[in-house]
């Protein structure tokens, strides 16, 4: 008997299965019309068809992942990269060399450069700016006057991201311009992504001209910020200094284009996601005054009535849970995409090389298989004794793996502080003309939330 003959036979690996095709497709458009007509409902019902399902979008097959564990496996496997038509259209507008669209070694290097600015121990350094902006916001609002939550949320989000990460006095005026440019660019970008009618967007129509002006101003602003910092000779400990001092794998300074694209790639997701979440939080505080009251009680029990400070945030468990629960039901990033670089499998299903894969944090985080009373707003579900029952990867508003949002700690700190500051000062009612239906764009947020703040 040879040694070979006693070696146990390798266990048989079953052939990966072809994922089922989701029901409800129509000739020519496939599932596309449902995806465009009501994307949230469409993504939410896909799990009934399987953990991985195939969708036909026109002539194309796209793979949708619907089970939390498999979205985790997808996000954690770097063999699934950022690519596809959605990303190509973003690159065309925002630049090809930023961290949000790069892959492979360029992406790894870029993450190494930006990561220190977002580390947990770096966040208290931003505390004074977050505090100042949160209180300035509540000061700006006057009891009884209508506030347009879209512009107010965008404004404070851009100001905080720009002032914290690109420090400097000049940021006050620049933040205002950035705000206007980014809001217009995001609206136009989504239109261009869902209706990729190239030549139409080159026509000299007012909407196209406005979009082009805003995009040009965004790039110009970023150039001005970089040039001014260089001219000042100052090197404060911030993200911009990290980018200006960064070197590539050969030890050479990184190129001008990469610095520019990096600033754009950080400011754009940074402001849109935060602004959308602030709008959703204001909507929740208005719809659920009982939770707003509990936030206020908690804040006052910690502060004794003085204005809430950054250092109080870690003691505000309930407030933090209101933010988490808002991110569960209304995750700013509602859809994510990846592309398979090689033939592979996911959950026993075959995924061919080059396949585009999508999944929806919105659908995953509302799935009744993962959450009891899944549609209810219930911040206490995040108390330790209850949150332990939430399946792994069923709550990932910041994603996982190598593309996980670098700003999760930054975002949570600033959103909790803002919620605390706003809820202690005001309660809210919607005014006529307000439309709080969910608007689907690059991010999710209420359509046009108009609120009247009333004193506490």
Check: CB of residue 282 under 8 Å from CB of residue 415: no
Q: Categorise residue 199: left if φ over 0, alpha if ψ from -120 to 50, beta otherwise.
A: alpha
CB of 267 to ligand HEM, least distance (A): 7
Q: From residue 33, give the alpha-carbon distance in Å to each of 45, 76, 439.
A: 15, 31, 17
CB of 35 to ligand HEM, least distance (A): 18
Closer CB to ligand HEM, residue 262 or residue 286?
262
Check: CB of residue 328 under 8 Å from CB of residue 397: yes
Please, which of residues 106-125 interact with ligand HEM by CB under 6 A? 111
Among 407, 416, 424, 434, interactor with ligand HEM by CB under 6 A: 407
Looking at the DSSP bridge assignments, the partners of residue 57 are 30, 60
Strands 349-351 and 435-440: unpaired
Check: CB of residue 240 under 8 Å from CB of residue 263: yes
Q: Give the SS3 label for residue 261.
A: helix
CB of 180 to ligand HEM, least distance (A): 18
Examine residue 363 and tell whether it contacts ligand HEM (CB under 6 A).
no
* DSSP, residue by residue, 269-286: HHHHHHHHHHHHHHHHHH
Any residues with CB less than 8 A from the CB of 251 and at least 6 apart, and which?
none
- Both tokens assigned to 442: 């690059």
Examine residue 99 and tell whether it contacts ligand HEM (CB under 6 A).
yes
Among 50, 68, 397, 453, interactor with ligand HEM by CB under 6 A: 397
Examine residue 430 and tell whether it contacts ligand HEM (CB under 6 A).
no
Among 22, 162, 225, 332, interactor with ligand HEM by CB under 6 A: 332
Size of the site for ligand HEM (CB under 6 A): 24
Among 53, 70, 90, 100, interactor with ligand HEM by CB under 6 A: 100
Contact string (CB under 6 A) for ligand HEM, positions 160-179, x = contact: -x---x--------------
CB of 137 to ligand HEM, least distance (A): 16
Distance CA 68, CA 304 (A): 42
Contact string (CB under 6 A) for ligand HEM, positions 217-256, x = contact: ----------------------------------------
Contact string (CB under 6 A) for ligand HEM, positions 30-69, x = contact: ----------------------------------------
Examine residue 439 and tell whether it contacts ligand HEM (CB under 6 A).
no
CB of 111 to ligand HEM, least distance (A): 5
Strands 80-81 and 60-65: unpaired
Closer CB to ligand HEM, residue 188 or residue 406?
406
Stretch in the footprint of ligand HEM (CB under 6 A) among 214-222, 272-280, 291-299, 370-378 = 272-280
Query: DSSP alpha helices (H): ranges in 361-454?
Result: 361-365, 384-387, 408-425
CB of 285 to ligand HEM, least distance (A): 16
Among 405, 413, 418, 423, interactor with ligand HEM by CB under 6 A: 405
Examine residue 273 and tell whether it contacts ligand HEM (CB under 6 A).
yes
Which residue lies nearest ligand HEM, judged by its C-beta?
270
CB of 347 to ligand HEM, least distance (A): 19
- Both tokens assigned to 61: 């097959």
Among 167, 403, 425, 427, interactor with ligand HEM by CB under 6 A: 403
Any residues with CB less than 8 A from the CB of 71 and at least 6 apart, and which?
65, 359, 361, 364, 393, 396
CB of 112 to ligand HEM, least distance (A): 11
Closer CB to ligand HEM, residue 19 or residue 397?
397
Examine residue 334 and tell whether it contacts ligand HEM (CB under 6 A).
no
Strands 444-448 and 435-440: antiparallel
Among 319, 370, 399, 424, interactor with ligand HEM by CB under 6 A: 399
Torsion sign, CA atoms 156, 162, 167, 172: negative
* DSSP, residue by residue, 356-370: EEEE-HHHHHT-TTT
Any residues with CB less than 8 A from the CB of 126 and at least 6 apart, and which?
160, 164, 410, 413, 414
Distance CA 138, CA 134 (A): 7
Examine residue 336 and tell whether it contacts ligand HEM (CB under 6 A).
yes
- Contacts to ligand HEM by CB under 6 A: 99-100, 111, 161, 165, 265-266, 269-270, 273-274, 277, 332-333, 336, 397-399, 403, 405-407, 410-411
């Amino acid at each position: 008997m040879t040694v070979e003959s006693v070696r146990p036979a390798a266990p048989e690996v079953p052939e990966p299965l072809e994922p089922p095709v989701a029901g409800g497709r129509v000739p020519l458009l496939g599932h596309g019309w449902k995806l465009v007509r009501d994307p949230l409902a469409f993504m939410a019902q896909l799990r009934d068809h399987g953990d991985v399902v195939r969708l036909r979008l026109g002539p194309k097959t796209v793979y949708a992942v619907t089970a939390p564990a498999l979205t985790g496996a997808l996000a954690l496997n770097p063999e699934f990269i950022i690519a596809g038509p959605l990303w190509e259209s973003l690159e065309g507008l925002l630049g090809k060399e930023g961290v949000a669209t790069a892959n492979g070694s360029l992406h790894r290097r870029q993450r190494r450069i930006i990561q220190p600015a977002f580390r947990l121990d770096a966040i208290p350094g931003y505390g004074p700016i977050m505090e100042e902006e949160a209180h300035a916001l509540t000061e700006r609002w006057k009891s009884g006057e209508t506030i347009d939550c879209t512009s107010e949320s965008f404004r404070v989000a851009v100001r905080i991201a720009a002032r914290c990460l690109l420090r400097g006095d000049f940021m006050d005026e620049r933040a205002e311009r950035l705000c206007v440019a980014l809001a217009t660019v995001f609206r136009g970008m989504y239109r261009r992504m869902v209706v990729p009618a190239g030549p139409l967007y080159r026509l000299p129509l007012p909407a196209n001209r406005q979009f082009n002006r805003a995009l040009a101003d965004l790039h110009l602003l970023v150039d001005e910020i970089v040039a001014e910092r260089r001219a000042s000779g100052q090197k404060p400990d911030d993200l911009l200094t990290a980018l200006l001092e960064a070197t590539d794998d050969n030890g050479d300074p990184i190129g001008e284009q990469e610095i520019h694209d990096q600033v754009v790639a950080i400011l754009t997701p940074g402001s849109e996601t935060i602004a959308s979440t602030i709008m959703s939080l204001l909507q929740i505080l208005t719809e659920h005054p009982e939770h707003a009251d509990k936030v206020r009680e908690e804040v006052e029990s910690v502060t004794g009535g003085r204005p809430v400070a950054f250092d109080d945030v870690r003691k505000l468990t309930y407030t933090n849970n209101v933010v988490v629960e808002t991110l569960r039901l209304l995750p700013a990033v509602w859809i994510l995409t990846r592309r398979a670089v090689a033939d592979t499998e996911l959950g026993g299903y075959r995924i061919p090389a080059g396949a585009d894969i999508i999944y929806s944090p919105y659908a995953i985080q509302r799935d009744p298989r993962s959450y009891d009373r899944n549609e209810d707003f219930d911040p206490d579900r995040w108390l330790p004794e209850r949150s332990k029952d939430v399946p792994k990867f069923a709550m990932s508003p910041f994603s996982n793996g190598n593309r996980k949002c670098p700003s999760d700690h930054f975002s949570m700190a600033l959103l909790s502080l803002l919620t605390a500051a706003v809820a202690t000062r005001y309660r809210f009612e919607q005014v006529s003309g307000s439309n709080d239906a969910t608007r689907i764009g690059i991010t999710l947020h209420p359509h046009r939330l108009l609120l009247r703040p009333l004193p506490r």
